[in-house]
Structure 1
Amino acid sequence: MSSPVFEEATRRRLTPQQAETVGKLTAAAAEVLDESGFDGLTVRLVAKRAGVAPATAYTYFSSKSHLVAELFWRKLVDGVHEPDPEADRLTRVTTVLRQLALLVEDEGQLAGAVTSALLGADPDVAHLRLRVGGFIRSRVVQALGTSPSESDDELVEALEMLYSGALVRAGMGYETYAHIADRLVAAATRLLDG
């Protein structure tokens, strides 16, 4: 975890040792979440699993929602890559959307937990929610091949709505993430080719 993204928590900049502690906490959160679900997840339980004092864990994470939001943020940054500038526009956009749709496919309880966490009122979660939205928007704009000042805001918003609506459908269990990814790519292709 040498990426600068992981060295900055929502509350403050981190030293390498602090970043390591946060890494242990998020790894433990993934394990506990997988075993106990969002309802069974607590910051104390995660701290115990990570071998960290609960008070230390609370210096980094204000709530279990904050912890899950951070876990998702890290997966997002690791799993959704900059579009290949050599690829054509449609391939760039559909690749980014597919990466977004499949991000939590094999993560058991994470998909539902992220939905619950990101909809919460915790100010630290609100901060991460803005970072997540900004990151997704930047990847979509990069994929479209325009700079933010030149981008077609309506097209970017339409692609964001396609993505968020698709993930809600998958999160509600209507379809698998793999099937949603395929449908999302088909919808984006229609939108871009239309």
Structure 2
Amino acid sequence: MTPDASENVVYLRSYGEHDRDDHEVVRRVLDATAEMLRERPFTDLTTRRVAERAGVPHSDVCAYFRSPDAIVAELYLGVLRDAPLSVDVELPARTRVVALFGQLVMLLADEPGFAAACSSALISTEPSVRAIRRRIHAELQRRVRTVLGSGAWPELAETLEFGLVGAMVQASSGAATFTQTADELAGVVAAVLPDEH
């Protein structure tokens, strides 16, 4: 028996004025934070200062973000999601992974203040940051598994993901330059992924 077509209809919640206001507040907070990180160290950032720069009530900032780490983590997630992802399946997996990792490590190379803030956010133990960090890791995982291809062992993908996250934290914290980190990470990929030639 064929189900009634009306059973397959999905009703989406309308995008009302309140939703637009929420979106605007978040956008202004993220934009203000990005501007401030170009001008001052992350340690000077507070939710109150971000609210002042964004021109929104402090209570609105706190309704969405519990801390500066949470704002930075959300900001980084946006940068990560906006980064292009293209896969040339004609290239060997090792070449594809090295190219992806180099791109991701170098994402923040031109913004050292933002990079340092991201390093702090990526290791923060604050509960509100953990939820955003799970989304960051999910996006990194999606990218790694896309360039590896569907036949890759899950353990291989996980090993590469751990290496990528560690390298990103190392570069963002200033422990090594972004270029050095990308080069070292390419060596790790070469050690983990077999040569396909």
TM above 0.5, yes or no, is yes
Q: Return the TM-score normalized by structure 2.
A: 0.80
Listed one character per residue, the Cα deviations across residues 52-107 of structure 1 (whole Å, up to 9, x for unaligned) are 1111111111111111111111111112x333244422332122211211121111
Alignment of 1:1-194 (within 5 A): 15-79=19-83, 81-88=84-91, 89-146=93-150, 151-194=152-195
Q: Return the TM-score normalized by structure 1.
A: 0.81
Task: Give the secondary structure class of the aligned counterpart of 1:121.
Answer: coil
Task: Give the secondary structure class of the aligned counterpart of 2:124.
Answer: coil
The one-letter amino acid paired with 1:161 is F
RMSD: 2.0
How much identity, in percent, do the aligned residues show? 35
Listed one character per residue, the Cα deviations across residues 116-152 of structure 1 (whole Å, up to 9, x for unaligned) are 2232232221101111111111110111011xxx541
Task: Point out where structure 1 has 5 or more consecutive residues left out of the alignment.
Answer: 1-13
The one-letter amino acid paired with 2:155 is E
Shift of 1:172: 4.2
Task: Give the secondary structure class of the aligned counterpart of 2:40.
Answer: helix
Q: How many residues align?
A: 177
Higher radius of gyration, 1 or 2? 2
Task: Give the secondary structure class of the aligned counterpart of 1:49.
Answer: helix
Task: Point out where structure 2 has 5 or more consecutive residues left out of the alignment.
Answer: 1-17
Shift of 1:16: 3.1
Distance 1:185 1:16, change over 3 A: farther
Distance 1:92 1:83, change over 3 A: farther
